[in-house]
């Protein structure tokens, strides 16, 4: 599909900052924004981009509202802005 890491990270930021500060997004929101008809192959690359943003201190990954370890989490996740 040819989507760069930077494009994925930028789209995560864009979608997060278009919402309320306490809102979160699903990785599928990012994938669908980039490739509405072929979004499924982008799910893991989006999750990887979110992990990089966690490592950079920009976002948190949550599951059922709780912050989780991005390297060990399984199943559905959400991405939200870093909370202090």
What are 25-47's pLDDT values in tens digits? 999 999 999 999 999 999 999 99
pTM across the whole model: 0.93
Query: What does the pLDDT look like over 19-28, one tens digit per residue?
Result: 999 999 999 9
Rg, the chain, Cα only: 12
Question: Given a cut of 70, is residue 14 above it in pLDDT?
Answer: yes
Q: Hey, what domains does the chain have and what are their CATH numbers? A: 5-81 (1.10.10.10)
Please provide the average confidence, as pLDDT, over all residues in the chain.
95
Q: Do strands 66-67 and 78-81 pair parallel, antiparallel, or not at all (unpaired)? A: unpaired
What is residue 68's three-state secondary structure? coil
């Amino acid at each position: 599909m040819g989507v760069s890491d930077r494009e994925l990270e930028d789209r995560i930021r864009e979608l997060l900052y278009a919402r309320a500060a306490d809102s979160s997004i699903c990785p599928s929101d990012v994938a669908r924004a980039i490739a509405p008809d072929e979004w499924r192959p982008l799910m893991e690359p989006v999750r990887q981009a979110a992990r990089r943003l966690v490592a950079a201190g920009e976002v948190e990954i949550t599951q059922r509202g709780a912050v989780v370890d991005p390297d060990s989490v399984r199943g559905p996740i959400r991405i939200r802005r870093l909370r202090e």
